[in-house]
Chains A and B, each alone.
Chain A
Amino acid sequence: MALPRFIRNLVLARLRADLPARLGRKRIFILPTRAGMVFGAFLLAMLLAAINYTNNLAFLLTFILGSVAVVSAIHAYANLAGLELEHGRLLPAYCGEEARLQLMFRAAGRERRRLKVRVGQSAAEVSLGAGEGRELDLGVPTTRRGRLPLDKVVVSTRYPLGLFRAWSPLILPVTGLVYPRLLPVEALDWHLVQGSGEDGGLGAVAQSGEFGGIRPYRPADGPSRISWKASARGQGLFAKEYRSGVARTLVFDWNEVRASEYEERISLLAGLVREAERRGLGYGLRLPTLFIEPGSGAAHAHRCLEALALLPEAA
């Protein structure tokens, strides 16, 4: 955009919204669509004909159609105004995959028809009954690891007549995280990974991830721990338990990974974390500036991947 920076900043400041956000007067814009402009030209021609022929019925019809257009603009505005965006979440994704953006909309007070929500190239449509809330799921492409600032979200509508488009751009305080790009599993060099304290590569670990029984599922367990076989009996969810004494803990070390490039090293470590988490192993991460104690579970995996994602760019 060729706007001076300070104007751009002013505009952006205006569009910034805190969650939960409510679409109001200040951030709803409305302009005629192309169809609306054609309609306007057609009305103008009718008005000229009515003036020239001093035909009052033509006047009346022109004014009725013109008023219908104006009132439809109010309807379009009302279709957006008061719409609530209750929360927005940008789920982490591996670089190159689409990050899922989840936006929870609620139609406060009135019914809403055909709202189009667009973020970047990705768009979705939704209609809401009065008071109804619904979560929209949009994909956001990722190109590099690290923080992913959410692009402007635009909610728009052409309802009811398509003559006007009302839209509301929102800059949300939502930031996503892009994990490092994954390399194919075959690229992972498990044997070169050194355990901490004890010796043994992944081969040993893989054997020693021994199954210790089944117990009721706790939310903290993470989906990878669910024993689907046991849960399928319909008496609630069950989690697999691993005998902690047997499972060896691994520490993936920055310096031990065999990689030629900086980013490749990060990708390899991320792949190891993911693979270890998938196999239910305990693992830790040693980075040049950070050491993460061994552990397991989704939260732990996220911590490790986040640390990798936020590593500074190659010097």
Chain B
Amino acid sequence: MIHDKRRFSVVLAALAVAFAPHLMRVPAFVAAFVCSAWGYALGMQYRGWAVPPRWLRVILALGCLGLVFAHYGRSFGRDEGVALLSLMLGLKAVESKSVRDMLALLFLAYFVVVTNVLYSQGLLMSAYMVLSVLAVTAALIHLHSARPTLAPDLRGGAVLLAQSLPLALLLFVFFPRLPGALWGVQDDRDEGVTGFSDTLEPGSVSSLSLSGEVAFRVDFFGPAPDRDSLYWRGLVLDTFDGSKWFRNLPFEAAEKIADLPTDRTEYALTVEPHGKEWLFALDLPVIAPRGTVLRSDRTLVSLRLVRSRMRYDLVSAPAAPAVEAAGSRWTALPEDGNPRARELALKWRGEGRGTRGLIAAALDLFREGGFVYSLQPGAMEGDIIDQFLFASRQGYCEHYASAMTFLLRSAGVPARVVVGYQGGEFNPMGQYLIVRQSDAHAWVEVWEDGRWLRVDPTSVVAPQRLSVGAEAVFSPQGQGEAVHEGLRALRRVGRFFQLGWDAANNSWNQWVLGFSHDRQRSLWQRLGLDPSTRAGAGKLAGLLALGLAVVLGTVFWYMLRSRRAHTDPVAVQYARFCRAMERAGLPRRPSEGPVDYAGRIGLERPELGPAAREIADAYVALRYGVRGDMDAFNRLVGEFIGRKM
């Protein structure tokens, strides 16, 4: 039995802080077991409940183990590990007898804090993890300090942590990052991420239109292009099977360009994990960053699935060269279906229109044919192009892009569907662009005059989609509903905080979570260091040594400096008196006791003599006498300092 109940409660409290985020993640029976085990352990301390016998503990442990495996099946991953760890926390608390057991519990608690990384790496969670580390550290100190109260140890933990942070940051920046994993990583994280798929059918883009989730963020190195030319290419879809568009292109890398075009945009794009291989780039990317491939259709793919946030530097230019649209691939359509659309296209063609003319005819149809931009166009089956063009006339961008490509191909013009994002929200607080899932978009590219011409049919149906974004178009305001002025102001304030929070998260993502091998290298390069050369590595080591010396030296100096004892009220008051006399030009000599000092004051400054004498007497009475009067001493010193000298 631990004799000190308080210390045990403190350890349990620290465990609870560390475990709290897992409480909702573990299965209910694990949570219930942990809580009741801790309750029983407290009962053992405070109510003298019996220690469960060894055989019972063994049965409990085996039973829990069995339950966990029964619950999760045979696989073993993150959730199973955390569940087992939680069970250990419960069992260990019940059998904790010695300081060493409590130490083991607190180490387990540190481990529990670290496992949170597997679930969330957001700013809020990270802040909570640091808080948990503080709680566990304070409990460790409390275990070793033998202080009767927790507050000084909590303060001590905060000081310890604050002193550790600069060192931790230094190590974080300098510790060499590897470009890849040491050994194979089987990532079992949930794939429940939103984002579009590699097929386009009615509803595949509109289903994203209300999701405020961030798809990627962009930092422009230079002026950002206008909003309505922000077309973020994702995938080129070449094949239509009558109901959906999909990609059926052989893999072919784009040719390297010798010189970068002058009319170019440079930027860095940080894509959120979506579990697929495609990446996004502004119309049209001309280089492939490390770890990616630029395909001949000017779309970018990652060599590995994008399972973690990924940042890459890009250059785009509208005038990038294109591969000749050869063969029948770009005009191919299913043998039959959608006869009315084919008929219309052939009619247009019969009117002798060129490619430009056909594009204009299609856009005119959308503009003047009573088409509506809608999120809920209703279900369509069978000849979906015909239904859309001649019956419902309601659709989202995928309907327009799909119908237009169909019309153009029917007329024999090479055309293709491109899916990606359009627009984005500029965050003034972080000077970057946020592109959300709601900005998902689909448009058309037409082969004309030796290049692929971008045509966006949505622009004629809903021009505001390009200027303010889909979210605004479908908001109550965008729909023309009246909104109360106060509500609008409230929304603006909310927006402000939302953007600020996003900016904070973005900085966290960029500078902490996204501090990769590449970013570390570019940091060294910006400092003029090249770790691959001997001299550069030497300088880097020197820099690290200097940093360590400064950081640790500061901690050393801070810890070893003397702190005057301000706890003794008599000494504090007397020191006030001495300081006042020092200001009056009569400092106390180190060799002088209070009585001698008062005597000298009386000789040199007779008018102060009696008061100084009184203070000395009160001091001596407090220090060496039987009955000292602290209040009188305080009053005397106060009066002495208050008087004019």
Chain A contacts to B: CB under 8 angstroms: 35, 38-39, 42, 46, 48, 51-68, 70-72, 74-75, 77-78, 81-82, 108-111, 113-114, 125, 127, 129-132, 158-162
Q: Contact: B183 with A130, CB < 8 Å?
A: no
The 7 closest A-B pairs by CB, nearest first: A109-B562, A67-B164, A78-B559, A67-B167, A63-B168, A131-B565, A130-B565
Partner of A130, one of B114, B517, B567: B567
Beyond A54-B516, A114-B145, A130-B567, 14 additional pairs, beta carbon < 8 A: A51-B178, A54-B180, A55-B117, A56-B512, A61-B117, A61-B129, A64-B133, A67-B165, A70-B164, A71-B163, A74-B552, A82-B562, A160-B156, A162-B143
Q: A42-B107, A78-B559, A110-B562 are in contact. Are A64 and B130 (CB under 8 A)?
A: yes
Residues of A within 8 A of B140 (CB): 160-162
Q: A56-B512, A61-B133, A64-B133 are in contact. Are A160 and B145 (CB under 8 A)?
A: yes
With both chains docked as a complex, state the minimum distance between the C-beta of B132 and any C-beta of chain A, in angstroms. 10
**Cβ-based interface call for B513 (8 A):** yes
**Cβ-based interface call for B121 (8 A):** yes
**Cβ-based interface call for B70 (8 A):** no
Q: Contact: A81 with B160, CB < 8 Å?
A: no
Residues of B within 8 A of A65 (CB): 110, 114, 133
Q: Contact: B182 with A48, CB < 8 Å?
A: yes
Q: Contact: A66 with B144, CB < 8 Å?
A: no
Q: Contact: A67 with B567, CB < 8 Å?
A: no
Residues of B within 8 A of A38 (CB): 107
**Complex-state Cα separation, A309 to B612, whole angstroms:** 56
Q: Contact: A52 with B181, CB < 8 Å?
A: yes
Q: Contact: B144 with A114, CB < 8 Å?
A: yes
Q: Contact: B555 with A161, CB < 8 Å?
A: no
Could you name 7 residue pairs across A and B whose Cβ atoms are closer than 8 Å? A56-B512, A60-B168, A71-B160, A78-B560, A81-B560, A129-B567, A130-B567
Which candidate, B16-24, B169-177, B338-346, B369-377, is the interface stretch facing chain A? B169-177
**Cβ-based interface call for B85 (8 A):** no
**Complex-state Cα separation, A62 to B181, whole angstroms:** 17
**Complex-state Cα separation, A35 to B168, whole angstroms:** 21
Q: Which chain B residue has the least Cβ–Cβ distance from A62?
A: B114
With both chains docked as a complex, state the minimum distance between the C-beta of A91 and any C-beta of chain B, in angstroms. 27
Q: Contact: A130 with B513, CB < 8 Å?
A: no
**Complex-state Cα separation, A77 to B556, whole angstroms:** 9
Q: A67-B164, A162-B143 are in contact. Are A74 and B516 (CB under 8 A)?
A: no
Residues of A within 8 A of B308 (CB): 54
With both chains docked as a complex, state the minimum distance between the C-beta of B603 and any C-beta of chain A, in angstroms. 31
**Complex-state Cα separation, A62 to B110, whole angstroms:** 10
With both chains docked as a complex, state the minimum distance between the C-beta of A155 and any C-beta of chain B, in angstroms. 16
Residues of A within 8 A of B552 (CB): 70, 74
With both chains docked as a complex, state the minimum distance between the C-beta of A134 and any C-beta of chain B, in angstroms. 14
Q: Which chain B residue has the least Cβ–Cβ distance from A64?
A: B168
**Complex-state Cα separation, A77 to B558, whole angstroms:** 12
Q: A51-B182, A56-B512, A110-B562 are in contact. Are A68 and B147 (CB under 8 A)?
A: no
With both chains docked as a complex, state the minimum distance between the C-beta of B518 and any C-beta of chain A, in angstroms. 11
> In B548-588, which residues have CB < 8 Å from any A CB?
552, 555-556, 559-565, 567-568
Residues of A within 8 A of B564 (CB): 130-131
**Cβ-based interface call for B312 (8 A):** no
Residues of B within 8 A of A130 (CB): 563-565, 567
**Complex-state Cα separation, A160 to B146, whole angstroms:** 10
Q: Contact: B563 with A56, CB < 8 Å?
A: no
Q: Contact: A63 with B171, CB < 8 Å?
A: yes
Q: Contact: B164 with A64, CB < 8 Å?
A: yes
Q: Contact: B183 with A52, CB < 8 Å?
A: yes
**Cβ-based interface call for B44 (8 A):** no
**Cβ-based interface call for B221 (8 A):** no
Residues of A within 8 A of B517 (CB): 54
Q: Contact: B178 with A70, CB < 8 Å?
A: no
Residues of A within 8 A of B117 (CB): 55, 57-58, 61
Hey, what's the 0/1 contact readout for B78-111 against A, CB within 8 Å counting as 1? 0000000000000000000000100100010011
Q: Contact: A66 with B168, CB < 8 Å?
A: yes
**Complex-state Cα separation, A249 to B517, whole angstroms:** 95
**Cβ-based interface call for B455 (8 A):** no
Residues of B within 8 A of A54 (CB): 177-178, 180-181, 308, 516-517
**Cβ-based interface call for B56 (8 A):** no
Residues of A within 8 A of B555 (CB): 71, 74
Residues of B within 8 A of A109 (CB): 561-563
With both chains docked as a complex, state the minimum distance between the C-beta of A129 and any C-beta of chain B, in angstroms. 6
Residues of B within 8 A of A64 (CB): 130, 133, 161, 164-165, 168
Residues of A within 8 A of B167 (CB): 63, 67, 70-71
**Cβ-based interface call for B185 (8 A):** yes
**Cβ-based interface call for B39 (8 A):** no
